Every structure is written in structure tokens, then in C-alpha cells.
Amino acid sequence: MIIQLEQGISSQEANKIRDKVNSLGFKTTDVITQRCKYIIGIGKKEIDIRQLGGMAGVSDVHRVSDAYKLVSRKWRVKPTEIDLGDGVVIREGDFAMMAGPCSIESEEQIVQVLEHLNANGVRIMRGGVYKPRSSPYSFRGLGIDGLKLWHEHAQTYGIKIITEVMQSSQIEDLCKYADILQVGARNSQNFNLLDALGEVDKPVLLKRGISGSLSELLQCAEYVFSGGNEKLMLCERGIRTYETAYRNTFDLNAIPILKEKTHLPVIADPSHGIGVRAYVEPVALAAVMAGADGMIYETHCTPEKAFSDGQQTLDFRESEALIKKTRATFELRKSF
């Protein structure tokens, strides 16, 4: 049960509501986000919610039977919009493009990618400065210095930055220079990290776990939201199956299912979704058609020389073609 509170509610009124909800057999959790105050009631009892709806300080009451509550579309019908400033907004009805290299490698590389994105009207650049790698002996990213450099250049283009956060202790620094923090597939159920991201006022993109269920992904979003941060989006990036003809199995079905279940934007990652450079484009365009609100993909001046993920990274010519086709495809979908 979600009890949405009035903005100016007094602590006395809030206490009364909490006591009432407890007395009805529900465990309560207080949630204060950038946008609103809520009391979440967890319990299985069937009650007449009108007895709560009439109380002073209550703005609205909703019953949500899913394990996740605040991220459910059963409660909030209006799609979440995430405003990054400078006119860059991620929302249903637009199509957000995010592109860039797997890893930030050098100043030269940063500028090359920014130039490419700028020339093609892409307003968000991706890139890793902390890299989760299967082997401890692999390149692990340039760290915060790489991000500072990147930030400096990105600002001159008015291009926003999305980068991966791997542990709570990185959040404070990353928040200074990045516009969106990404939680990677391997950390998708790192609950302490999710808790910590709930406490900041910075948009978060949550990738689905390597074999995460959609229900788990939504509950991970609930962690961040109930921690206080409503600025959330979800990302389908392929799941692990028995098939070995490609890297991951892009779960196209996840897109319409997530769009039904949550008000959060749904982003597709076709690069990890198939893991084969030649087929990033068809997967990407399919995701547009299936209802995604945006896309994040890998591009690099010379993919063959990329420090990581070169085999699934587009060169700039391929990237430009993808951008154009994506726009045409999105226009067609909107026309339906």
C-alpha cells in the first residue's frame, strides 16, 4: 500500500497516519524523495482504504499487490521524466540516444567521440572509468581522473555523461562530474549500492542482472526509489541462456513487459544485447519498434583498437547510420 502525503504535512499528522496503518496490521516504511513523501505499508490484509484516504495530510492511497510498489505503473500511470538540464530529457514519447566507448581511454578518444556525437545530435555520452572485469589482471579503467577530463570536454559540447558506479564510496566523486550513474549487470543486486544511490539526487540507470528476472529488476529499482531517488530508468542488456552463437540473448520481450509494469523509462542496450558488431543495428532498430524509450550503445573511432568490447562496438560510420535509422524507425512507431 502506498500512502502519498501532502507536501506540507506536519509530523503530528504523519505520526497519526503511521499509527493508523500499523494498527491495521501493516508494517510501515517512510519514504522521502526529491518529489514527494510517502508511507509504504507492507502487509497482506484486505482493508477499506477510504479510512486512510480521509485522514489529514493524506494526498492519495493506492493498493499495489506486486512485490515492488513505488515503481509500479499500477500506482503511477504517468511516465517518469528525467530532466538532465540543457533541454536533455529522457521520457516516453521521445527517444533518448546514449553512445560512446566501452572504456574511456584517452583525451584524444574522448574528443573524437564527442565530435561524432555532437555532429549527429546525440546529447548523452557513455563511457566507463571504473570497469568491472572478469579477470583481475585486465584493464580496470582510468578512474576519477579520466572522468574529470571527460567532464571538462563534454561540458564544452553541452553533452551529458553516463558512467558506471561500482561501489558506494565512488558515488560522491562521480556525482560531481557525471549526469547519470549506471549500475552494471554484475551489481544489479548489490543492495548496499542501491541503498546508497537512493540517497543522492542524481539519475540512475539500472541494468538488468546477467540472469535477472524482470521482477527482480523492478525490486532493485524499488530499493533506489524507496531510498529517496525517483530519477530512475531501467535497461535491458541481454540475458544468459544456453545459446552460444552470440554473447547474450537480447530479451526483446522485456521491453513491452517492463513498459506495462512500471512508469520508469526503459532503455535498450543492443551492444551487449547481442555482442556482435554486425548485428547491433538490427537489434537496436527492433528495440525501437518494440517500444523502448531510449538506447545505449558502444561506438569508438577504431573499434579494433578499443581497450574492451571492441567486437561489439560500432565505428563512427556505422554509428551515424544507426542514428539516422533509429530516428526514422521511432518516427514510424510514433505514427502508429
Binders of its own copies among residues 109 to 168 (CB under 8 A) are 132-137, 166-168
| Binding flags for its own copies, 197-216, as an x/- string (CB under 8 A) | ------------xxx-xxxx
Stretch 225-244 residues interacting with its own copies (CB under 8 A): 226-227, 239-244
Closest distance of CB 28 from its own copies, Å:
10
Say whether 2 sits in a helix, a strand or coil: strand
CB distance 184 to 212 below 8 Å: no
Name which of residues 53 to 82 contact its own copies (CB under 8 A): 67-69
Residue from 4, 189, 228, 311 touching its own copies (CB under 8 A): that is 189
Question: Measured from the CB atom, is 177 or 223 closer to its own copies?
Answer: 223
Q: How far is the CB of 250 from its own copies (least distance, A)?
A: 5
Q: Which is nearer to its own copies, 49 or 276 (CB)?
A: 276
- Minimum distance of its own copies from residue 278's CB (angstroms): 8
Terminal Cα-to-Cα distance of the chain (whole angstroms): 36
CA angle, residues 74, 335, 282, in degrees to nearest 5: 85
Please, which residue, 82 or 258, has the CB nearer to its own copies? 258
Q: How far apart are CA 14 and CA 57, in angstroms?
A: 7
Q: Is 261 exposed, middle or buried (0-12, 13-18, 19+ CB in 10 A)?
A: buried
CB of 42 to its own copies, least distance (A): 5
Q: CB of residue 233 vs its own copies: minimum separation in angstroms?
A: 18
Choice between 77 and 245, CB closer to its own copies:
245
Which stretches does DSSP call E strand in 26-76?
27-32, 37-42, 58-62
Smallest gap from Cβ 160 to its own copies, in A, equals 25
Q: Mark 260-289 with x for binding to its own copies (rule: CB under 8 A) and - for no binding.
A: x------------xx-x-xx--xx-xxxxx
CB of 216 to its own copies, least distance (A): 6
Q: How far apart are CA 181 and CA 230, in angstroms?
A: 13
The residue behind cell 572504456 is 103
* 8 Å CB contact between 74 and 62: yes
Give the span between the Cα atoms of 320 and 324, in whole angstroms.
Answer: 6
Interacting positions 10-49 with its own copies (CB under 8 A): 27, 29, 40, 42
CB of 320 to its own copies, least distance (A): 13
Q: How many residues bind its own copies (CB under 8 A)?
A: 77
Other CB atoms closer than 10 Å to residue 40's CB: what's the count? 19
* Interface with its own copies in residues 300-319 (CB under 8 A): none
The span from the CA of 12 to the CA of 274, in Å, is 54
Question: Of residues 75, 177, 223, 316, which one binds its own copies by CB under 8 A?
Answer: 223
Dig out the grid coordinates for 63 from the structure.
493498493
The answer to whether 265 and 78 are in contact (CB under 8 A) is no
